[in-house]
Structure 1
Amino acid sequence: MKIAFCTTDGTLIDEHFGRCEQMAIYDITPAGYHFEEMRSMEVIDPSGPHGSHIESKASSIADCAIVYMTEIGGPAAAVVVRNRIHPVKVPKPQPIEEVLESLQHTLQNSPPPWLKKIMHS
């Protein structure tokens, strides 16, 4: 399954979903993971109407099952979920590799029900 990470430098999950200019896309299985691509994203202007921009950003990662970020607003999270992508907020910037290793370990052992559902869809 593909995972998207909101990042400023390609190594850390360190960006807000709306402000994110790029997302690192990885493919992960219980056996391993690998980098797929860096996708450019449209930046959402917080002072303007941004419903269609959020929809566009979510659509651009529609092939991903999960998206990690440092922050996401309620309306944006609803759009992401409606696009069948599971949003995950990290409490502080974290290395993408650490999250991938932890997620791979979870996939190998006992994934929670929400993750099992994603894996089998």
Structure 2
Amino acid sequence: MKVAFCTNSMKEVDEHFGRATSVAVYDVNTDGSEFAELRTFIPIDADENHKIDINTKVEALNDCSILYLTEIGGPAAAVVVRNKIHPVKVDDKASIDELLDTLVKKLNDSPPPWLRKAIQVK
């Protein structure tokens, strides 16, 4: 499955979904994870809080099952969930490597209901 991380540093989840201009995408399975690509978004208005159109961003991430972020607004979360992407809010500066390790361990053990659903949806 594909898992996305809102990041500026490529090492940590350090961005709000609406402001994220880059999202790192990884391929994840029970054997581990591998960086797939960095998806970038061109701001439509640098002075706005949400610099990229939410629908455009979600469409570009529609092959992802899980999306890690620091914050997401209610309307944006609704669009994400409606597109069968499971948003996961984490603390600012959460390590991508640690999150990936934890996710792989959960896949190999007994995945919680939200993860089983995310796996089955895509």
**TM-score, normalised relative to structure 1:** 0.90
Match of 1:87 in 2: 87
- What is the identity, as a one-letter code, of the residue corresponding to 2:84? R
Residue 2, structure 1, aligned to residue 2, structure 2: yes
1:68 aligns with 2:68: yes
Letter in 2 for 1:17: F
Shift of 1:70: 0.5
Report the secondary structure of 1:99's partner residue.
Answer: helix
SS of residue paired to 1:18: helix
CA offset at residue 107 of structure 1?
A: 0.5
Kept in 2, the 8 Å contact 1:44–1:54? The answer is no
Residues 49-68 of structure 1 mapped to structure 2, 5 A cutoff:
53-68=53-68
Match for residue 78 of structure 1? Answer: 78
Q: What secondary structure does 1:10 align onto?
A: coil
Note the C-alpha offset of 1:42.
3.8
Contact conserved, 1:8 with 1:15, CA < 8 A, in 2? yes
- Point out where structure 1 has 5 or more consecutive residues left out of the alignment: none
Give RMSD over aligned pairs: 2.0
Q: Distance in 2 between matches of 1:86 and 1:46?
A: 27
Name the SS of the counterpart of 2:53 in structure 1.
Answer: helix
* Corresponding residue number in structure 1 for 2:102: 102
Q: CA deviation at 1:120?
A: 2.6
Partners of 1:42 and 1:57 within 8 A in 2: no
Task: Please give the secondary structure, in 2, of the residue aligned with 1:55.
Answer: helix
How far apart are 1:43 and its partner, in Å?
Answer: 3.6
Question: In the alignment, which residue of structure 1 is the partner of 2:33?
Answer: 33
Any conservation in 2 of the 1:19–1:44 contact (CA below 8 Å)?
Answer: no
Unaligned runs of 5+ in 2: none
CA displacement at 1:71 relative to structure 2: 0.7
Q: In the comparison of the two structures, how many residue pairs are matched?
A: 120
SS at match of 1:62: coil
| Residue pair 1:20, 1:43 contacting (<8 A) in 2 also | no
| Alpha-carbon distance in 1 for matches of 2:82, 2:39 | 21
* 1:91, distance to aligned residue in structure 2 (A): 2.3
The residue number in structure 1 matching 2:22 is 22
Q: Distance in 2 between matches of 1:118 and 1:2?
A: 10
